[in-house]
A and B are shown apart, each in its own frame.
Chain A
């Protein structure tokens, strides 16, 4: 099956989902799709540059808080508010990426973590704007432009998130398969050689990190509109940890794998958290098992199964 056919199939099935599941499930599904987008955005850094960001919550939190503040204070139409939030996130990401890409390995992880924690701390420092530990509540979904309002309802919002996810996937897929993506593959394999071929690899890494923040910011902005509130935990390092685990368990460097990882964990968490409080323990065990036994992740497992069949 060609990928176009598969993509059309997945998109087609996704369009029918709201009519096939009960309304309350749709809420979990939307949350899972948003997290899929977030995980895919991190994959650009982790899977394609092999830089381990431990602070991707910064992208999510920035997107969410920007959208929250824009939508509550400016009353702009939801799509425009989200787009603006993404732009602001990208603008803030440029200096962050510039600093973080000066290093690699553990220092890169620590720098990204530091920026995310800085954002977290700022939420409490500028309480008047951000609401401190209460966060921003009552985020509206203003209609427009041109009187469009279908995204205000639960099903409509599902389609908005789905469109953003599928669109982002197509863009990311095009990026990693372009000449730009070929250079990223070079950086991943042998950065010194890539430099000596004449590529300014630092510029490529900065661009990738900024792009990644852009898609992560989009996920955060969608979350703000979805949940109706933005809280400091979006910026917290646990969020960064969760999404990194989703990328690794799903299969880094595949775009689709991290999305599967996010879906897997969000649904599992939803099911298990109703039964037991030991959910984080199970989360951790699954992570350890994957790192030890299935380093290619969920997608790698599926592909192997597929190849064997």
Chain B
């Protein structure tokens, strides 16, 4: 049974169909990336899965349960943790307090220990007592990932984790994410703009174009797919 299943998910904004009858699955332990040009509907898809937006049609099934239309916090309680495209942290709290609050949502008694572990995983331990808004942009993004894994999710959803990072920061973030994902045996759904990042991290790729799935498969196959090259890669590679 797939861990996450989107069945015919559709969301319209006025005349624009941002996500159009999308079928997609994430298997347990799979790292799946969703790619597509700007405006392809990636972030909308994320918001539909996490119930931030309600779909016009279709459903989201998580671990066999239909979670469509659940309140946002209930989706999180079911075991889906996410990061946001625009970094969402608690700026005035220390890095540790940020992660502790995330851990507390699932395990209040061991929250402190889980938080320290998560900081360690993302190599943020030395910043633990710093106010989160004092961290570099790259470390803030990693902090948000640390918060997500401290929730001990069954599905981790990362929305463009390297957006706005410099080349070096991106390399570092990818290394850290890769080590973490390999160690954690996590199921991951990843939206990413940077093709290099996607090919380094993902087992499988879903390609969105104008709200529709135009390809789905292993990185090599997707890379070779003619329609994808036309729509997204622009034949430039």
- A-side residues, CB < 8 A to B, are 179, 182-183, 185-186, 189-190, 192-201
Decide yes or no: A185 and B97 within 8 Å by CB, A195-B73, A197-B151, A199-B73 being known contacts: yes
Pairs of residues from A and B, 4 with the lowest C-beta to C-beta distance, nearest first: A198-B76, A189-B90, A198-B105, A193-B88
For the residues of A in contact with B, the DSSP-based class is helix
B205 on the interface (CB 8 Å rule)? Answer: no
Question: How far apart are the CA atoms of A189 and B90 in the complex, in Å?
Answer: 5
Q: List 26 A-B contacts (CB under 8 A).
A: A179-B104, A179-B108, A182-B97, A183-B101, A183-B104, A185-B90, A185-B93, A186-B90, A186-B93, A189-B92, A190-B89, A192-B88, A193-B84, A193-B89, A193-B90, A195-B73, A196-B50, A196-B52, A196-B84, A197-B73, A197-B76, A197-B81, A197-B151, A198-B106, A198-B151, A199-B105
Within 8 A of A (CB), among B40-77: 50, 52, 71-73, 76-77
B102 contacts which chain A residues (CB < 8 A)? 197
Taking the complex as formed, is B100 at the interface, i.e. its CB lies under 8 A from any CB of chain A? yes
A189-B92, A193-B90 given as contacts; is B104 within 8 A of A182 (CB)? yes
Instruction: Tell me whether B147 is interfacial, beta carbon within 8 Å.
Output: yes
A-B pair count, CB < 8 Å, reads: 60
Q: Mark B138-177, 1 if CB is under 8 A from A, else 0.
A: 0000000001000100000000000000000000000000
**What's the minimum C-beta distance from A202 to chain B, rounded to whole angstroms?**
9
Taken together as a complex, chains A and B put the C-alpha atoms of A53 and B82 apart, in Å, by 33
A182–B93 Cα distance when bound, in Å, is 10
Cβ–Cβ < 8 Å partners of B76 in chain A: 195-198
B122 interface residue per 8 A CB criterion: no
In the complex formed, the residue of A with least CB distance to B144 is A193
Instruction: Report Cα–Cα, A33/B76, bound state, in Å.
Output: 44
Flag if A190 contacts B90 (CB, 8 Å): yes
Query: A197 to B147, Cβ gap below 8 A?
Result: yes
The distance from the CB of A176 to the nearest CB of chain B, in whole angstroms, is 13
Contact of B101 among A185, A192, A195, A200 (CB under 8 A): A185
How many B residues touch A, CB cutoff 8 Å?
27
Bound Cα distance from A1 to B97, whole angstroms: 25
Whether the pair B101, A197 counts as a contact (CB closer than 8 A) is: yes
Say yes or no for B18: interface residue by CB 8 A criterion: no
Q: Are A200's CB and B73's CB within 8 A?
A: yes
A residues less than 8 Å from B101 (CB atoms): 182-183, 185-186, 194, 197
Q: Does B91 touch A at the CB level, under 8 Å?
A: yes
B87 to chain A, nearest CB (A): 10
| Chain B contacts with A in 102-117, Cβ cutoff 8 A | 102, 104-106, 108, 111
Task: Known A179-B111, A182-B97; judge A198-B88 contact (CB<8 A).
Answer: no
Whether A196 and B88, one on each chain, are in contact in the complex, defined by CB atoms closer than 8 angstroms, is yes
A196 with B82: in contact, given A182-B97, A182-B101 (CB under 8 Å)?
A: yes
Q: Shortest beta-carbon distance, B108 to chain A, in Å?
A: 5
The distance in angstroms between the C-alpha atoms of A124 and B72, with both chains bound, is: 44
Q: Which residues of B contact A186 (CB under 8 A)?
A: 90, 93, 101
Task: Establish whether residues B88 and A190, one from each chain, have CB atoms under 8 Å apart when the complex forms.
Answer: yes
Residues in B whose Cβ lies below 8 Å from that of A185: 90, 93, 97, 101
Chain A residues with CB under 8 Å of B147's CB are: 197
Can you name the residue of chain A whose Cβ is closest to the Cβ of B103?
A: A197
In whole Å, how far is B53's beta carbon from the nearest beta carbon of chain A? Answer: 13
Measured in the bound complex, the distance between the Cα atoms of B111 and A194 in whole Å is 15
Given contacts A182-B100, A185-B97, whether A201 and B92 have CB atoms under 8 Å apart is: no
Residue contact B90 to A198, C-beta cutoff 8 Å: no
* Cβ contacts under 8 Å, B84 to chain A: 193, 196
- A195-B90 contact given A179-B104, A182-B97, A182-B104, CB 8 Å threshold: no
Provide the residues of chain A in CB contact with B77, threshold 8 Å: 198
Tell me the bound Cα distance from A195 to B81 in angstroms. Answer: 11
**Chain B residues near A183 (CB, 8 Å)?**
101, 104
How distant is the Cα of A60 from the Cα of B102 in the complex, in angstroms?
A: 36
> How far apart are B106's CB and chain A's nearest CB, in angstroms?
7
A197 to B81, CA, bound (A): 7
Which residue among B90, B93, B97, B106 has the maximum number of chain A CB atoms within 10 Å of its CB? B90
In angstroms, Cα B94 to Cα A272, docked, is 44
For B93, the chain A residues whose CB sits under 8 A away are: 185-186, 189
Q: Measured between alpha carbons, how far is A194 from B84 in the docked complex, in Å?
A: 12
Query: Complex Cα distance A197/B107, Å?
Result: 12
Q: Which residues of B contact A196 (CB under 8 A)?
A: 50, 52, 72-73, 76, 82, 84, 88
Complex-state Cα separation, A192 to B102, whole angstroms: 13
Report the Cα distance A195→B105, complex, angstroms: 10
Chain B min CB distance to A116 (Å):
30
